[in-house]
Amino acid sequence: MTKKPNNKAPFSQSSSYSDWRSATYAAQRERLVKFNSISFREQPEIVTPENGGAVDYHKDLGYPGEYPFTRGIQPTMYRGRLWTMRQFAGFGTPEDTNQRFKYLLDHGQTGLSTAFDMPSLMGYDPDHPRSLGEVGREGVSVATLDDMDALFDGIALDQVTTSMTINCTATAAFAFYFALAKRRGIGFNQIGGTIQNDMLKEFIAQKEWISPPTPSVKLVCDVIQFCANEAPKFNPVSISGYHIREAGATAVQELAFTIADGLAYVDHCIGRGMQIDDFAPRLSFFFDIHNDFFEEIAKLRAARRLWARLMRERYGAKTDASCKLRTHAQTAGVSLTAQQPVNNVVRVAMQALAAVLGGVQSLHTNSMDETLSLPTEDSVRVALRTQQIIAEESGVTNVVDPLGGSYLVERLTNEIEEEALRYIKQIDAMGGMLHAVELGFPQREISEAAYQFQLELDAGKQTVVGVNKYPEGGEQEIPTLKIEHAVETRQIEKIRQFKLNRDTVAHAGALKDIEQTCREDRNVVPVLIDAVAVGVTLGEVSDIYRKVFGVYTDPGML
């Protein structure tokens, strides 16, 4: 047979992005009027070097482990060491949570993370009237050094790193932990871990406080100063965007306000006469990982580059360690749904993959039942296995920063960094984050973003599968964890006996020392470590803060 001649036109090849867009791309329809990210960022149909994808490699990216750390803070990243798998856990009595800690370690978890109950977070002992109904309910009840001892019974404090999510009472929890190390004969310089201790984000988003912003920041920096001098392996603060994002912020707002909070702590420490390179290496961060896959990856890359540049250019940091943004991340609790809860496993897997591709050092993956209760053993095991499958099966850990050089990711990284920097300059003009918080600026910005998202969700412009699209009706029941009321009764009786049996003279002297230290504006941490060792409780420390520093009331400026 004779082959027929090919009469078709030659293969098309546009000479530029604009030609391709106006001719080839425009020849087909799009299925939506607009393509936006979850943070309302309009998405381009494609990114090329001509429309934002170009980078100055050495200025903007560099190599992993080198300034400005866009591609990661370690040269080998996950080829050298996987991230720490750190599931947030806490409920009931210290003994209950101790068993959960051991369960997680037995199943391959590599770090611990402590969730405290509401009385512990707000500065009340279990026997206080305001604690009624909340003891051990949303986290573990810890009010004394003995409670902390039971929480870590059989766990070597110098062999595992522990994170503690606690803020206005962070100094008390920190004192318990270090007094426990002392009781067990472990040097402070051997203790690794992190305490959240980020009060600015409390005033911005989470709303758990005792005293006003200024003395609260002073207490945060007391811990930073103590660790710089005494505990070089411990992270004294986890500057947290997580709660800011969960309150409704966009990705840019989360990044900008978190970095601005960090700058406020740096300014306070320098105001005390501390040198930037003495404390900046131990500042750590905590970001939320939401649903928009590429935006979240770019946010983490932008965070590292922005922080590195600020440390070097604004504060004159002289070491790489001072410029490295080290971060924990948690998948977005706010993205979980009570409807069709098994879908949450998929959401968490996608978010966890974004966190890993973004280069985090530590990760918590939410359990599918967390909109319904604290997680069961089965659901938390699936959440942990999600991280392990990404680490061991997906192959994404074989190459450092595998998305580096992606036109889209680099454009997003540039945009997010620039937009966050604009917010930081606005905050600078207000006199810094402390004053911006007092003016209600970040609170209003977040509130407006949350409102806009809800409007878009209600209008169907944003989709939540199983909620406003593909609903099934009826409730899908899954097993949930029940916290028995007897937990509260046991903790109340335990602390009553604890208070009856302590040395009343030593206890009274310790309370007096704490109050005097607060009034004289000295670092309270060394005094607290001694005080909790003679029986001072978390609630009693908090009462002194209320007495000396006052009680903060939300001005309601939204």
The residue-averaged pLDDT of 394-418 equals 97
Asked if pLDDT for residue 263 goes beyond 60, the answer is yes
- The Cα–Cα gap between 66 and 74 comes to 8
- The pTM (predicted TM-score) of the whole model is 0.95
Asked if pLDDT for residue 252 goes beyond 60, the answer is yes
Phi-psi region at 7: left, alpha or beta (left = phi > 0; alpha = psi -120 to 50): alpha
Asked if pLDDT for residue 5 goes beyond 80, the answer is no
pLDDT value at residue 120: 98
Q: Which H helix or E strand runs over 422?
A: helix 407-429
pLDDT value at residue 473: 81
Query: Which parts of 71-192 are beta strand (E)?
Result: 84-85, 88-89, 112-115, 162-165
Alpha helices in 8-112 (DSSP H): 17-22, 94-106
Mean pLDDT value across the chain: 95
* Confidence at 474, pLDDT banded by 50, 70, 90: confident
Please, what's the b/e burial string for 6-34 (b: 16 or more CB within 10 A of its CB; e: otherwise)?
A: eeeeeeeeeeebeebbeeeeeeeeeeeee
Contact of 197 with 236, CB cutoff 8 Å: yes
Amino acid at position 281, single letter: P
Of the candidates 467, 456, 248, which has an alpha carbon nearest to the alpha carbon of residue 337? 467
pLDDT value at residue 514: 98
Q: Which tokens hold the place of 124?
A: 């009340």
Q: Which H helix or E strand runs over 433?
A: helix 433-439
Of the candidates 288, 558, 554, which has an alpha carbon nearest to the alpha carbon of residue 443? 558
pLDDT value at residue 558: 53
Of the candidates 183, 159, 164, which has an alpha carbon nearest to the alpha carbon of residue 223? 164
Q: Which residue has the tokens 């540049």?
A: 309
- The Cα–Cα gap between 23 and 537 comes to 72
Residue 464: other Cβ atoms inside 10 A: 16
Task: Classify residue 184 by its DSSP letter.
Answer: T
Asked if pLDDT for residue 3 goes beyond 90, the answer is no
Contact of 249 with 445, CB cutoff 8 Å: yes
Q: Which tokens hold the place of 372?
A: 């319904």
pLDDT tens sequence across 514-550: 999 999 999 999 999 999 999 999 999 999 999 999 9
Q: What percentage of the chain has pLDDT greater than the value 90? A: 95
pLDDT value at residue 224: 98
Asked if pLDDT for residue 1 goes beyond 50, the answer is no
Contact of 74 with 101, CB cutoff 8 Å: no
pLDDT tens sequence across 325-372: 999 999 999 999 999 999 999 999 999 999 999 999 999 999 999 999
Of the candidates 544, 455, 546, 481, which has an alpha carbon nearest to the alpha carbon of residue 96? 481
Asked if pLDDT for residue 119 goes beyond 50, the answer is yes
pLDDT tens sequence across 221-235: 999 999 999 999 999
Of the candidates 31, 34, 143, which has an alpha carbon nearest to the alpha carbon of residue 93? 143
Of the candidates 355, 468, 383, 326, which has an alpha carbon nearest to the alpha carbon of residue 88? 383
Q: What is the CA radius of gyration of the chain?
A: 25
* CA–CA–CA angle 237, 276, 427 (5° rounding): 70
Q: Which residues contact 501 (CB under 8 A, 6 or more apart)?
A: none
* Confidence at 7, pLDDT banded by 50, 70, 90: low
Q: What percentage of the chain has pLDDT greater than the value 70? A: 98
Asked if pLDDT for residue 375 goes beyond 80, the answer is yes
The residue-averaged pLDDT of 486-506 equals 97
Of the candidates 189, 101, 109, 104, which has an alpha carbon nearest to the alpha carbon of residue 148? 101
Q: Which residues contact 81 (CB under 8 A, 6 or more apart)?
A: 74
* Confidence at 8, pLDDT banded by 50, 70, 90: low
Q: Which tokens hold the place of 357?
A: 């591709």
